[in-house]
Structure 1
Amino acid sequence: MHPHGPMRRKERQITEMAEIADILKLGKVMNIALSDDNVPFTVPVFYAYDGKAVYFHSSLAGTKIAIMKKNSKICFSVSLDNGHLESDKACDFEAKHRTVIGFGNAVFVEDEAEKTKALDLIVALFTDKKFEYPANSLRGTAVIRIDIESVKGKKHGI
């Protein structure tokens, strides 16, 4: 069974793709979940969304790179407006959030123009400055594109 089954709390589901896209565009940190021979691995990464795919960068080696080379299936999540809603009862506290969870395939970007575009999108989350990427830096940086297969959004307390 695919993890994106029906949402239990339908009143919290975000049904408009434009709202899901807004959350993906506003976030800066995404958690990715990978699996290596049925052993889960999760890590936060800086990312950017271009309206079609999600991009993040990494060194060329390490645990996440090794896992993605063996298994390109990836789950990702972005959560904004985190906080809580208080209650007079301990068990009635609730999370305040807008969250997107998606599934897709990790693709290692080799095309220099696409790699540069992705890095520009990520850098633009933090500064208006424009940068050049020396050829040796581009060769030494992995850029991964997540081709999204499915995505869901949920919100509460917003």
Structure 2
Amino acid sequence: MLGELTANQIEAVLHREVVGRIGCHADDITYIVPTTYAYDGEFVYGHTIEGMKIDIMRKNPKVCFEVDTIENMSNWRSIIAWGTFEELKTKEERGSGMQQLIDRVLPLLTGETTISHSMTDGHGKYVEAMKGVVYRIKLTKKTGRYEKR
């Protein structure tokens, strides 16, 4: 059966998953890239190094965000949301954004742009500036579909 997800089901998927895809467009270039994220019910929070994604979102902050859960080809849920990119620049904003990510994805991170345990005070609180860009996307419209067999 194919169908549309309810608002509560959409929220559940956004809260449960930690990898989504950002779609952005500027200067006749469309770019889609996976990213780890944390979701607080209004904003998707992320961290990255300088690069094409940030360059494009700075030029055009209107973005699309996609998340899916795939059990198999006949059992999946997919969320597409639209929103506005905002770079977090002050120490307080960066700290708050990083805390969202630390709380949600720290146990899963292992790459070059990730958060190390040395960035917390032992109680999970963010304590120092992180290299790279901390950002959030305010989700303004969400839709979801599923297939279940």
TM-score norm. by structure 2 comes to 0.78
Match of 2:4 in 1: 13
Unaligned runs of 5+ in 2: 110-115, 121-125
Match of 2:53 in 1: 64
Unaligned runs of 5+ in 1: 1-8, 86-95
CA distances 1:44-89 after superposition (whole Å, capped 9, x unpaired)? 0011111111111101x1100111111101101000034123xxxx
**Looking at both structures, which has the greater relative contact order when contacts are Cα pairs under 8 Å and sequence separation is at least 6?**
2
Match of 2:101 in 1: 119
Contact 2:37 2:105 (8 Å CA) reproduced: no
Q: Judging changes above 3 Å, is the alpha-carbon distance between structure 1 residues 55 and 112 closer, same or farther for their aligned structure 2 residues? A: closer
Match of 2:44 in 1: 54
After TM superposition, the runs of 4+ consecutive aligned structure 1 residues lying more than 3 A away are: none
Match of 1:77 among 66, 73, 76: 66
Task: Provide the aligned length of Structure 1 versus Structure 2.
Answer: 134
TM-score norm. by structure 1 comes to 0.74
SS in 2 for 1:105: strand
Following superposition, the deviation at residue 121 of structure 1 comes to 3.3
Q: Judging changes above 3 Å, is the alpha-carbon distance between structure 1 residues 119 and 141 closer, same or farther for their aligned structure 2 residues? A: farther
Q: Judging changes above 3 Å, is the alpha-carbon distance between structure 1 residues 82 and 34 closer, same or farther for their aligned structure 2 residues? A: farther
**RMSD between superposed Cα atoms in Å:** 2.4
Match of 1:151 in 2: 142
Q: Which has the larger radius of gyration?
A: 1
